[in-house]
Structure 1
Amino acid sequence: MENPITELELLTLNGRSKSYLRETAKWSQFLAIIGFVGIGLMIVFALFAGTIFSAIPQAQAMPFDLGIVMTITYLILALLYFLPVYYLYQFSSKMKTALLTKNDETLSDAFEILKSHYKYVGVFTIIILSLYALAFVSLIFVGAFAS
């Protein structure tokens, strides 16, 4: 009986698999470029948030400077969004190179980067869901004590 790990090492990509990976690389590059454009727009908005919110009369009535809060918020969001978009772009580049050069090491690197992308998105999703759950439970307690 053969070792399962040895069997996996003999895994080869047929024409259909290569075609699917090529198409996946193209779409991931498209999504990464759109992501970089979105990050750029977030940064531009963050830079002009102070000017934008100082022109709104309701924003001036707040006890804090809404422009600075929005600037910091959008810069943080841009930073959080950068890494998964960068991973997606790197996956696309490495996958295209691996398929052109038929290099197994580059193919492995591409899948490692894709794993990192999904791991980042997964951990970030868990954090956001946890914050939502915490907010929900907090609202229940506040509602119970306010009555």
Structure 2
Amino acid sequence: MENQNNLTLNDLAIDSLRESAKWTMFLSIVGFIFIGLMLLGGIFMTITFAAIPDEAAFGAYNPLAAIKNYIGIMYLVMAAIYFFPILYLYKYSKGIKEGLSFNNDEMIAEGLVNLKSHHKFLGIMTIVVLSLYVLAIIVGFIFAASMASGL
């Protein structure tokens, strides 16, 4: 069954989509550059921190030794997480630009699907981060209560 309702866009809507495609292309390119820098930073930190000894001078404990293996990995994981919303933004921009250039409804629809995916990804990540904040606050209160009671 085919949908018989055709949606037409006026000049203001077309100009707004074209303008948003330009800005999202710019933002996605900048995002890809920063993801690349984040990957290079993660690799650099992994290699550099591997050279740090586990013990400081004279056998003292080195506090950096406990986390040195994880800092570079955290950068690599963050780059992987940031990659997907930037990719969705790039695909949105490309789909809208090509769809408007070729007057192709399917390309515009595909671009809008990628914009939906971008917003959905950011929404889910926001929920995850807020949940982690709530969890950290609860754990902090429990820790403070246990320290106050002397456990």
| TM-score of the two chains, using structure 2 as the length reference | 0.84
Superposed displacement of residue 76, structure 1? 0.3
Alignment gaps of 5+ in structure 1: none
Superposed displacement of residue 68, structure 1? 2.3
Amino acid at match of 2:116: K
3-state secondary structure, aligned to 2:8: coil
Match for residue 39 of structure 2?
Answer: 43
Alignment gaps of 5+ in structure 2: 57-61
3-state secondary structure, aligned to 1:12: coil
Superposed displacement of residue 47, structure 1? 1.1
- Higher-Rg member (1/2): 2
Q: Is contact 1:51–1:67 with CA below 8 Å preserved after alignment?
A: no
Match for residue 87 of structure 2?
Answer: 86
Residues of 2 paired with 1:81 and 1:24: CA distance? 20
Superposed displacement of residue 54, structure 1? 6.5
Match for residue 59 of structure 2?
Answer: none
Match for residue 64 of structure 1?
Answer: 65
Match for residue 95 of structure 1?
Answer: 96
Calculate the aligned-residue CA RMSD, in Å. Answer: 2.2
Tell me which stretches of 4 or more aligned residues in structure 1 moved more than 6 Å: 54-57
Structure 2 matches for 1:2-17, cutoff 5 A? 9-17=5-13
Identity %: 39
Superposed displacement of residue 10, structure 1? 2.9
| Total equivalences in the alignment | 140
The question of 1:30 aligning with 2:26 is answered yes
3-state secondary structure, aligned to 1:11: coil
Superposed displacement of residue 12, structure 1? 1.1
Amino acid at match of 1:37: I
